[in-house]
Structure 1
Amino acid sequence: LHALTHTPTPLSTMGRDLHADPAAFITAAAAGTHATALAAG
């Protein structure tokens, strides 16, 4: 969560920011990390 609060672009989804809906952003970050690991083999 700490890393997501320091992004150069403000985060929002469906009108909610990181503090209003942290689970959405944590889930997306975890999915991206997992996809990167799968792609790396």
Structure 2
Amino acid sequence: MKVEWVESTHRQCKCANVAFFFKQWGGWGADGKRRANKT
């Protein structure tokens, strides 16, 4: 997920007086490698 998408959504929610909840980034790093790999 791109940082810009989260920031844009957050701004839109704030302007509309809507609650914003962002749980987590997920298991992929900026380099495209999986970070939350379970074996």
TM-score by length of 1: 0.38
* Structure with the greater alpha carbon radius of gyration: 2
* Greater helix proportion: 1
Structure with bigger RCO (C-alpha 8 Å, 6+ apart): 1
* Greater strand proportion: 1
